[in-house]
């Protein structure tokens, strides 16, 4: 899997399972496309899973989703599904304070979903910062500010974003990753064309000469290794 992942510039998590029980696949290889709400939106041979298929299959997938809840917690659930996390949290806490049958459990469920979503973005900030992937860092910080307006989380995210954008080293790393991303896309387009792949390899070598000390360099060396194979 590793050479394929590198050659195709795959940056999303890839899982490998020893047991396919429960998935119902009758053949290998078999691919499943799972939307953010946990629903399988496509399955078939991986060779048939093209970018257009992915876009079409996930077009209607929700970014925020919740299970059914009791009536008292529905306003909080509706706010969450609209991406209004601060509002969802406040409404869930208010419903929980009033109490009622099933209310506490469902209110806690909404509060947990809010906390999990924020935790995911904060982990992205932390791990992507360590890897120098500042495009992902700024994306996560922007989501926190967008979906938690007026909250302390948004204030902290705004301050962090301002701090990072004032750091020349961060901006240099961000620029390096943007250049590398373009080279990865070029390597994907050149797949199967030896002449074009050699040209991409030379560009990657030049990239490493200019950005050898960047955190993007490690990824560039992996891509170069895959392109040369």
> pLDDT, tens digit, for every residue of 118-157?
999 999 999 999 989 999 999 999 999 999 998 899 999 9
Least confident of 11-15, 72-76, 117-121: 11-15
What pTM value is reported for the model?
A: 0.74
**216 shares a domain with 154:** no
Segment (H or E) for 45:
none
Averaged pLDDT for residues 4-23: 71
| Number of domains the chain contains | 3
Q: Is residue 190 part of a domain?
A: yes
Average pLDDT over the chain reads 88
Residues 110 and 189 in one domain: no
Q: When comparing pLDDT for 32 and 16, which is higher?
A: 32
Output the CA angle 115-120-123, nearest 5 degrees. Answer: 120
Judge if 105 and 48 occupy the same domain.
no
Q: Domain check: are 116 and 38 in the same one?
A: no
- 42 token code pair: 């496509």
The pLDDT > 90 percentage for the chain reads 53
Same domain, 157 and 175: no
Q: 3: which 2 tokens?
A: 């050479």
**Angstrom distance (rounded) from CA 46 to CA 10:** 14
Q: Residue 197: inside a domain, yes or no?
A: yes
Query: Mean pLDDT highest for which of 18-27, 51-60, 96-105?
Result: 96-105
> In which domain, by residue range, is 109 found?
71-166
Half-sphere exposure in the Cβ direction for 110 (13 Å, CA): 33
- Whether 108 and 154 map to the same domain: the answer is yes
27 and 91, same domain (yes or no): no
pLDDT band at residue 7 using 50, 70 and 90 as cut-offs: low
Residue 19 has pLDDT above 70, yes or no: no
Q: Which residue has the higher pLDDT, 111 or 19?
A: 111
84 shares its domain with 157: yes
pLDDT of 25 above 70: no
pLDDT, mean of residues 196-206: 92
The pLDDT value given to residue 24: 67
Is 64 part of a structural domain of the chain? no
If asked whether residues 94 and 144 sit together in one domain, one would say yes
Q: Which of the listed residues 166, 184, 207 is the one where a domain comes to its end?
A: 166
pLDDT in the model for residue 45 = 85
Residues 121 and 205 grouped into a single domain: no
Last residue of a domain, one of 166, 182, 199: 166
Domain boundary among 37, 58, 79: 58
Are residues 157 and 75 both part of a single domain?
yes
Q: What is the pLDDT of residues 28-52, one digit of tens each?
A: 778 888 876 677 888 888 888 877 7
Residue 116, CA atoms < 13 Å, CB-side half-sphere: 10
Q: In which band, very low, low, confident or very high, does the pLDDT at 228 lie, cut at 50, 70 and 90?
A: confident
Answer whether residue 23 shows pLDDT above 70: no
Residue 66 domain-assigned (yes or no): no
- Same-domain check for residues 157 and 197: no
């Amino acid at each position: 899997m590793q050479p394929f992942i590198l050659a195709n510039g795959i940056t999303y998590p890839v899982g490998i399972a020893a047991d396919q029980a429960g998935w119902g696949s009758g053949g290998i290889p078999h691919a499943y496309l799972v939307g953010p709400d946990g629903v399988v939106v496509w399955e078939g041979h991986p060779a048939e899973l093209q970018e257009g298929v992915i876009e079409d299959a996930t077009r209607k997938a929700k970014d925020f989703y919740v299970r059914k809840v009791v009536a008292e917690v529905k306003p909080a659930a509706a706010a969450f599904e609209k991406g209004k996390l601060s509002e969802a949290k406040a409404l869930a806490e208010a419903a929980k304070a009033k109490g009622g049958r099933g209310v506490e459990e469902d209110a806690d469920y909404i509060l947990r979903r809010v906390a999990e979503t924020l935790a995911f973005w904060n982990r992205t900030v932390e791990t992507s910062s360590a890897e120098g992937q500042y495009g992902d860092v700024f994306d996560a910080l922007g989501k926190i500010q967008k979906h938690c307006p007026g909250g302390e989380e948004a204030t902290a995210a705004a301050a962090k974003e301002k701090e990072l954008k004032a750091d020349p080293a961060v901006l240099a790393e961000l620029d390096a990753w943007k250049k590398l991303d373009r080279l990865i896309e070029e390597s994907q387009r050149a797949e199967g064309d030896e002449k074009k792949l050699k040209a991409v390899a030379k560009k990657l070598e030049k990239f490493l000469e200019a950005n050898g000390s960047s955190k993007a360099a490690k990824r560039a060396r992996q891509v170069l290794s895959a392109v040369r194979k």
